[in-house]
Structure 1
Amino acid sequence: MTTPRVYLAGPDLFFEDRDARYARLRAACAHAGLEAVTPTDGLEVHTEGPLPLAEQIYQHNLHQLRTCDAVLVNLSPFRGVEPDSGSVFEAAFALATGKPVAGWIGDAWSTTQRRAVLRKVWRDADGRVRDKTDGGLVEDFGLPVNLMLACSFAVMPTPWHAIDRLAELLGVELRANGVLESHA
C-alpha cells in the first residue's frame, strides 16, 4: 500500500528555522504512517519565462495540493491574531476538492480571548464584542479560529494531535506488531 501524502500548510516556511520545523513535522508524520510534503518540495522557479515568480509558486503549491491525500494546516496566529491567509486558502482548497484537513493552533484561546489579551476588543452597550480598530463585531462563539474553519475540520491544540487525526481520517492505524498500515 502507498503511504498517504500530507501537504503541510502554514506560515512555517517564512521563518529562519523552517528546515527544523519541517523536519519535526516530517518525523511526526512518518511516525504516524504519513508522508509529509512541504510547499517548497520540488519547487524550481525560473527568472526567465512567461510566469512571474508569484504565479510559479502559486501553480506549484496547487500541484502539491492536488497530488496529496490530505492537508495538515498550522492555524497559529501569524502577524496578528488570525492565521496566515495563504494557509487558510490551502485548507479551503483541500476541503473543496474532497481532501481531509486537520489543523492546529498553538494555544487554547478563543478568538475573543486572543483579541482581549492584545487589548483590541471592547463590549458595546448590548454586550457584543467589538474590535477597537474598526468597531466591527468579533465572533464570540468560544472557538479557537473563525467559525468557517472551526466548523469545517478538526482544530487541535498541537500538530501532533492534528497528525493523529489525519492518520485516523486516512485509515492509517498501528497494527499489533507496531508496524503502520494504511486501510484507505
Structure 2
Amino acid sequence: MSKPRVYLAGPDLFFEDREERYARLRAACAQAGLDAVAPIDGLELHTEGPLPAAEQIYQHNLRLLRICDAVLVNLSPFRGSEPDSGSVFEAAFAYAIGKPVAGWIGDYWHTAERSAMLRKVWHDCDGRARDKLDGGLVEDFGLPANLMLACSFPIMPTAGEAVERLVDAVQPCVGM
C-alpha cells in the first residue's frame, strides 16, 4: 500500500536553501505517513522541441498536481505582502479538481495587519484601511489570507499544522 502523495506548492524552490526547505517538509510529511512531491521532482527540461522551458515546467507541475492526492501550500508573503501567485494558482487548481489542500503562513497576521506592518495602508474618514499606492480597500475580515483562499481550505500558522490537516483529509485514501 502506497502512502498518499502530497504536492509541495510554494515559493520555496526560488531560495538558495530549497533543498533544506524541501527536506524539512518531506520529513514532516513522512512522519505523518505522507509522501511529499516537490515541483522540481523529476523535472527534465529539454532544449530541443516545440515547448519553451516555461511551458515544460507548467505542464510538469500540472501533471504532478493531477497525480498527487493532496496539496500542501506555503502561502507566506513572497516579494511583498501577498503569497506567490504560482503557489496560489496551484492551490486553486488542486481545489478545483477536488484535491484536499492545506496551507500555512509563517507570519500568521491577518491581511490588514500584514499590510499595516509593511506601512502600505492609510485609513479613510470612515476608518477603512486603504492601500497607499492605489487607494483601494484592504480586505479586513480578520483572515490570514484573501477570503477566496481562507474560505476554501485551512490555512495554519505552521507547515506542521497544515500537514496534520492534510492527514485528516486524505485518511479515506489510506487503505484503499
Q: Same fold (TM over 0.5)?
A: yes
CA distance in 1, matches of 2:108, 2:5: 28
Instruction: Extract unaligned runs of 5+ from structure 1.
Output: 173-180
Q: Determine if the alignment matches structure 1 residue 12 to structure 2 residue 12.
A: yes
Q: CA deviation at 1:183?
A: 4.6
Q: Does 1:182 align with 2:166?
A: no
SS at match of 1:170: helix
1:45 corresponding residue in structure 2: 45
Q: Is the 8 A contact 1:170 1:183 kept in 2?
A: no
What code does the residue aligned with 1:155 have? I
* Equivalent position amino acid for 1:182 in 2: V
Give 1:81's aligned amino acid. S
Q: How does 1:94-113 map to 2 (within 5 A)?
A: 94-113=94-113
Where does residue 57 of structure 1 map in the other structure? 57
Deviates more, 1:107-116 or 1:86-95: 107-116
Q: What is aligned with 1:177?
A: none
Find the counterpart in structure 2 of residue 176 from structure 1. Answer: none
- The corresponding residue for 1:138 is 138
Q: What's the Cα RMSD here?
A: 1.2
The 8 Å contact of residues 7 and 38 in structure 1, kept in 2 or not, is answered as yes
Summarize deviations over 1:85-121 as a string: whole Å, max 9, x none: 0000000000000000000000221111111111110
Count matched residues. Answer: 176
Secondary structure in 2 aligned to 1:55? helix
Gapped regions of structure 2 (runs ≥ 5): none
Q: Which consecutive aligned stretches of 4+ in structure 1 deviate over 4 angstroms post-superposition? A: none
> Under a length normalisation based on structure 1, what TM-score does the superposition of the two structures give?
0.93
Secondary structure at 1:144 match in 2 = coil
**Offset, 1:34:** 0.2
Is the 8 Å Cα contact of residues 8 and 37 (structure 1) preserved in structure 2? yes
CA shift digits 1:5-25 (9 cap, x unpaired): 000000000000000000010
Counterpart CA distance in 2 for 1:122 and 1:12 is 31
CA drift at 1:140: 0.7
